[in-house]
Structure 1
Amino acid sequence: MTPHTADLWHHYGRTRHATDRTVPDDFRWNWEQDGGPGPEVLGDLTGLYVGDLGAGAARHAAHLVVHHRPVRVVAIDASPAQYAMATDLYGHLAPRLRIVRSDVVRYLHAGRGTYDVLYSVFGAVDFTEPRALLPAAATALRAGGRLVFSTLGHCLDGSPAQPDVRHVDIPARTPGGEVTTMRRWVLQEQVWVKLLDEAGFTRISVDVLPGGEGPRTADALLVTAYRSS
């Protein structure tokens, strides 16, 4: 995000920010955030260096810092509004939680071989060109490091995931409230696997997390991959 780009995440999470300042007791990988596996998917984080890609208000990162034992979690997000909320909510958890406002691809390239684990919960992996993000993630991971992310298995309007590397445009609002769109990558399982393989990952696995009931529910893909040694 550049100074001339509207912050399309300006409005996201503001209501919760005003009413809920707690560190979550848990988090889930499914779309509704109410079932399926939890942070144990990341493995034992004791003494590890962890990065949250597209951290938003850093609630997931704060949970890991408080309830697990990483040496540090870096919560990365390009949105000025999300950075401000995360800093307000969880700045007191520094230095074990480091909150960073940055383009995620640029930041990962600057941290070559830094991380043991990178993860994204419907975060930057969904909203960043994957042919740029996934190689950057591989660069930032140490040999054998793990990338875990959840992403939509199909679009929220029910249309299928893309069979090739193509984004869809979804509704968004500028800080002033004007209606616009932003790009989201909703890709089929085999497309993610191919992209990860090309980026230098191995031991790639994909699990489907079924959605619940309702008009805005969705299946999710939970993807795990390891940087080649």
Structure 2
Amino acid sequence: MTRVTTADLWHHYGRTRAERDHAVPDSFRWTWSQQDGPGPEVLGDLTGKTLADLGAGTARHAAYLAVHHAPGRIDAVDASPAQYDMATGLYADLAPRLRLVHADVVAHLRVNPGAYDVLYSHFGAVDFTDPREVIPAAACGLRPGGRLVFSTLAHYLSGKPAQPDVTAAEVEAKTPGGESATMYRWVLQEHVWAKLLEQAGFTGIRAAELPAGDGPRSAVTLLVTAEFTAS
């Protein structure tokens, strides 16, 4: 396989659904199966708040929150041109409450210090960006007292245990032209995430394992929440 770093490795992801399903979802669940478990209440009261979905993909979760939870604004941030284009085709009409942002998540947070009350990643950028970069960037982007919430894999889809240190795994992907490629995903044990969060200035760190649903590629979800307090 050829190692490719372009964000267009997400070109094919979600495309079939985007072509046939333009509706705003009627639910938001944190589990890998997205069928049960806790929902948006984990984010707290969002009324009038400024949020960002980190690695929003086609912005389905962001669209749900924009329609059903009355945030002041939610930025759906994704580096993939293909995902941004699909999100625009699906939900551009939800502006200005939903703002679609084509940008690298780390760079976006760094140039918008203290811009957000809540940041979240639903198996998104926190999974696919070096956590030694994205977690400090999240701390930069949050206001004092802000909250970071993310769902990630508690173990690999193969069943292999999560990593005991900050080690990435290569996962298969495809270029827009269909050629095989690889990208990185971080599947880490709970204590590793906790240490990274503490080092970035987060407190009140809580993690919970959510059971796997049915299906051949089901997986246990690790749901992590943390608060940011400026030093």
The residue that corresponds to 1:158 in the other structure is 159
Using the TM superposition, give the Cα deviation of residue 93 of structure 1 relative to its aligned residue in structure 2, in angstroms. 0.6
The residue that corresponds to 1:87 in the other structure is 88
The residue that corresponds to 1:168 in the other structure is 169
Using the TM superposition, give the Cα deviation of residue 212 of structure 1 relative to its aligned residue in structure 2, in angstroms. 1.9
- What is the correspondence of 1:87-166 to structure 2 with a 5 Å cutoff? 87-166=88-167
Give me the whole-angstrom Cα distance separating, in 2, the residues matched to 1:181 and 1:147.
28
SS in 2 for 1:223: strand
8 A Cα contact 1:6 1:174, kept in partner: no
8 A Cα contact 1:165 1:187, kept in partner: yes
Runs of 4+ in 1 over 3 A off after TM superposition: none
SS in 1 for 2:6: coil
8 A Cα contact 2:168 2:186, kept in partner: yes
Give me the whole-angstrom Cα distance separating, in 1, the residues matched to 2:8 and 2:18.
17
8 A Cα contact 2:175 2:181, kept in partner: yes
RMSD: 0.9
What whole-Å deviation, never above 9, does each CA across 1:99-146 have from its counterpart, x for those lacking one?
Answer: 011110000001100100000000000000000000000010000100
8 A Cα contact 2:7 2:80, kept in partner: no
TM-score, L = length of structure 1:
0.97
8 A Cα contact 1:6 1:175, kept in partner: no
1:65 partnered with 2:66:
yes
Letter in 1 for 2:102: R
Identity %: 66
1:74 partnered with 2:75:
yes
TM-score, L = length of structure 2:
0.96
SS in 1 for 2:16: helix
SS in 2 for 1:52: strand
Flag the 1:26–1:213 CA change in 2: closer, same or farther, 3 A.
Answer: closer
Letter in 2 for 1:177: G
Give me the whole-angstrom Cα distance separating, in 2, the residues matched to 1:5 and 1:169.
15
- How many residues align structurally? 226
What whole-Å deviation, never above 9, does each CA across 1:174-213 have from its counterpart, x for those lacking one?
Answer: 1111111110000000000000000110000000011123
Using the TM superposition, give the Cα deviation of residue 173 of structure 1 relative to its aligned residue in structure 2, in angstroms. 0.6
Task: Identify the range of structure 1 (4-13 vs 138-147) with the bigger mean alpha-carbon deviation.
Answer: 4-13
Using the TM superposition, give the Cα deviation of residue 6 of structure 1 relative to its aligned residue in structure 2, in angstroms. 5.7
The residue that corresponds to 1:201 in the other structure is 202
1:189 partnered with 2:183:
no
